[in-house]
């Protein structure tokens, strides 16, 4: 990332990466080989007359534009409208001209690929229908992801598009890791199993960690901890996911910003009887009103919670205690799935930036052979090739994730037919 050398992938053109949500679209236009950004930004309030687009053209400032039409198509049109200018502007550190600014394709983050999609795929009518069929499993995400795909089709009909699935990396989990002990028909008829999410990030940081460790990914056993607003950890053996903390939905597993993570499923019936809330209302609260926000009573921002805990706020201290406790329990469980640990990888907004959470986790996990290097950890591993542990057979690393770059690379590769 950030290198100004243009590798062969750039010759194939730039990639538009889209993460289309229910009311927002995050995007980047980048060179897949170098990771160099040409454009990046976000559209908010999509689908309303208040829609606005924030665009950063590299190198340059963020500009905000109103989009009264507000549709996904209007957003995509406007993003693409920036491209010719941006391509020329970005020529300061490399050759200008049509090759640089050519858009080779669009890569979409798609949350749920069900059991079918085990890798990134070129989008066609049949793929769209399959993604739609998995909307039942991800009703908050897949329909918006498809809105983005349809909008690009409408605005640039001939542009190749690639779907990159959050679930795909975890398709290598064995049945013992992905099956729930529930009635068989729930699995065969309704697809109730563990799928796992954040796969693009786990895959990216696992590859990067191997490079930083100077060892082949094919012989490493890693636990990757993606700790952002959503949090999940994965057991990656020889480059393949063998276990992960998220399940049928992204609600399972670790404590997150507003998601509870694991709870006793018995609480749904109990609360329904006691409170009169419906199953949907309880699930909504577990997704949106729980987690760090519920425990701390101060919202889901880890920075604010850490600061409040340091100032003596009891609820914030409890929120951190529960977060770290559950994280460590999950990591140790994933090591059981691996049989051996070579490195623990921290990523995501919390994993990359919170020296305190990492420090507490590493102390709790000392029995696995991990020991914090306090100086390296305080500087987030910046001067030590990502390493935040003392040198030894089991390492802890900070590896900044870059899901957009992974999506761009997959898109270029799939379009090239590799």
Residues lying near ligand ADP in the complex (CB under 6 A) = 228-230, 257, 300-303, 306, 348-350, 353-354
> Minimum CB separation from ligand ADP for residue 205, in Å?
12
> Minimum CB separation from ligand ADP for residue 14, in Å?
23
- The count of other CB atoms within 10 Å of the CB of residue 345 is 28
DSSP label at residue 367: G
By beta-carbon proximity to ligand ADP, the closer residue of 94 and 349 is 349
By beta-carbon proximity to ligand ADP, the closer residue of 87 and 247 is 247
Edge-first strand order for the sheet with 52-57 is 62-66, 52-57, 37-44, 25-30, 14-20, 103-110, 161-165, 121-122
By beta-carbon proximity to ligand ADP, the closer residue of 148 and 291 is 291
> Minimum CB separation from ligand ADP for residue 69, in Å?
27
Closest chain position to ligand ADP (CB):
349
Long-range contacts of 358-367 (CB under 8 A, 24+ apart): 358/388, 358/396, 358/398, 360/320, 360/324, 361/225, 361/324, 361/327, 361/328, 361/331, 362/388, 362/389, 362/396, 364/324, 364/325, 364/328, 365/328, 365/331, 365/332
| CA-based nearest residue to 251, from 296, 321, 196 | 196
> Minimum CB separation from ligand ADP for residue 126, in Å?
31
Rounded to 10 deg, the angle between the 302-310 and 355-364 helix axes is: 70
Bridge partner list, 16: 29, 106
Q: Which of 10, 147, 166, 243 is labelled catalytic?
A: 166
> Minimum CB separation from ligand ADP for residue 406, in Å?
14
Spatial separation of the C-alpha atoms in residues 143 and 145, rounded to whole Å: 5
- State the DSSP string of 56-106: EESSS-EEEEE-TT-SHHHHHHHHHHTHHHHHHHGGGGS--SHHHH-EEEE
> Minimum CB separation from ligand ADP for residue 226, in Å?
8
280: annotated active-site residue: no
Edge-first strand order for the sheet with 231-237 is 240-244, 231-237, 221-227, 343-347, 395-398
By beta-carbon proximity to ligand ADP, the closer residue of 72 and 323 is 323
By beta-carbon proximity to ligand ADP, the closer residue of 300 and 337 is 300
By beta-carbon proximity to ligand ADP, the closer residue of 256 and 394 is 256
- The count of other CB atoms within 10 Å of the CB of residue 287 is 17
Catalytic residues: 166
């Amino acid at each position: 990332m950030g290198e100004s050398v243009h590798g062969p992938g750039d010759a194939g053109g730039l990639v538009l990466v889209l993460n289309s949500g229910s009311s927002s679209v995050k995007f980047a236009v980048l060179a897949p080989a170098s990771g160099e950004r040409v454009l990046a930004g976000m559209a908010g309030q999509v689908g309303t007359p208040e829609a606005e687009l924030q665009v950063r053209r590299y190198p340059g400032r963020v500009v905000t534009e109103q989009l009264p039409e507000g549709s996904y198509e209007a957003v995509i049109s406007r993003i693409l409208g920036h491209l010719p200018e941006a391509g020329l502007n970005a020529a300061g550190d490399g050759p200008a001209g049509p090759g640089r600014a050519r858009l080779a394709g669009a890569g979409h983050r798609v949350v749920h690929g069900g059991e079918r999609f085990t890798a990134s795929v070129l989008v066609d009518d049949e793929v769209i229908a399959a993604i739609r069929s998995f909307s039942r499993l991800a009703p908050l995400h897949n329909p918006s992801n498809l809105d983005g795909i349809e909008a690009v089709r409408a605005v640039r009909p001939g542009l190749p598009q690639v779907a990159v699935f959050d679930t795909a990396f975890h398709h290598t989990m064995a049945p013992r890791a992905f099956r729930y002990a529930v009635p068989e028909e729930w699995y065969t008829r309704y697809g109730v199993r563990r799928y796992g999410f954040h796969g693009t990030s786990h895959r990216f940081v696992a590859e990067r960690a191997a490079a930083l460790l100077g060892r082949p990914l094919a012989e490493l056993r890693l636990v990757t901890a993606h700790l952002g607003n959503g949090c999940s950890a994965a057991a990656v053996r020889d480059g393949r996911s063998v276990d992960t903390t998220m399940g049928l939905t992204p609600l399972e597993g670790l404590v997150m910003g507003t998601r509870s993570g694991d709870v006793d499923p018995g609480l749904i019936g109990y609360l329904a009887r006691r409170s009169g809330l419906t199953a949907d209302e309880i699930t909504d609260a577990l997704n949106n009103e729980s987690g760090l926000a519920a425990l701390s009573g101060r919202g889901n921002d880890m920075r604010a919670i850490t600061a409040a805990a340091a100032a003596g706020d009891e609820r914030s201290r409890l929120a951190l205690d529960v977060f770290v406790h559950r994280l460590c329990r999950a990591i140790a469980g994933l090591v059981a799935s691996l049989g051996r640990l070579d490195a623990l990888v921290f990523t995501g907004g919390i994993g990359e930036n919170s020296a305190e959470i990492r420090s507490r986790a590493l102390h709790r996990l000392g029995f696995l052979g991990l020991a914090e290097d306090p100086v390296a950890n305080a500087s987030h591993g910046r001067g030590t090739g990502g390493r935040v542990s003392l040198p030894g057979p089991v390492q802890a690393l900070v590896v900044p994730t870059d899901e957009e770059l992974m999506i761009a690379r997959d898109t270029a590769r799939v379009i090239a037919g590799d």
